[in-house]
Amino acid sequence: MSVTQHEFGRVQAVYLPIAAAVFAIVVAAFAFTLVRYRARPGRAARPTREHPRLEALIALGLAAIVAVLVTVTFRADARETHLAARPAFRVDVVAFKWGWQFTYPSLPGVVDRTTPRSPPLLHVPAGVPVAVALSTRDTTHAFWVPAVRYKRDAWPGVTQTFDLTFPAGQHLSGRCAQYCGLRHSDMVFVVQSLGRRAFAAWAARAPGRRPGP
């Protein structure tokens, strides 16, 4: 999944005009009813009449709107949850009270972890699909990167895998978005996205990197 804000932006671009149009129609119909059928001196109330054709058209219109919104939403969700057949890199993310641990299967021995003095750095290559395996050691947490508008809950006993593509050359703040206890506010991290050469240089000198065979 690329930066998810683009997917949400496309969904919002469909939802907002429809919502505004429905709101305007409801307000106009309400105002017309108040004016057209207001009480007047010498005017007696008359029994209401049914309009089955009009009601059927309204029902069909509402059904069509729902169908459009459901289709747009599910297509965006499918794109968001799509997993690349061959992601360029993988990171294992473990949440715990009250921090994060990032390990990299292709870089044995390299660990970025919360310390008492600083949040951890999640190092990722920019512009390519990064497979993230998210789990938690204790209670429910949430992996949230506001800049890419992406949040995924971490459930005890479950490992979730998803793809993200991060913009190049940026430090993006992240945090736990699920209240998990008294030190919930300490669960912050930073995503450091690096270009291909910069990432290769970091990987070569990363602390804890074991020598190759």
Mean pLDDT of 116-131: 89
Reported as a single tens digit per residue, the pLDDT across 10-51 is: 788 888 888 898 899 999 988 988 887 777 777 666 767 777
Res. 65: pLDDT tops 70? yes
Continuous segment of H or E residues that includes residue 52: helix 52-81
Q: Output the six-digit token pair for 123.
A: 């190092």
pLDDT grade, residue 99 (50/70/90)?
very high
- The pLDDT mean for the chain works out to 84
Res. 187: pLDDT tops 90? yes
Nearest to 163 by CA among 192, 202, 122, 134: 134
Which pLDDT belongs to residue 213? Answer: 31
Mean pLDDT of 56-72: 88
d(CA 66, CA 118): 47
Continuous segment of H or E residues that includes residue 178: none
Q: To the nearest whole percent, how much of the chain has pLDDT over 90?
A: 29
Which pLDDT belongs to residue 96? Answer: 94
Res. 91: pLDDT tops 50? yes
Which pLDDT belongs to residue 52? Answer: 82
Which pLDDT belongs to residue 163? Answer: 86
Reported as a single tens digit per residue, the pLDDT across 135-175 is: 999 999 999 998 888 889 999 999 988 888 888 777 889 99
The strand pairing partners of 124, in sequence order, are: 193
Which domains are delineated in the chain? Answer: 4-81 (1.10.287.90), 89-205 (2.60.40.420)
d(CA 54, CA 60): 10
Nearest to 93 by CA among 43, 164, 2: 164
- Under 8 Å between Cβ of 4 and 77: no
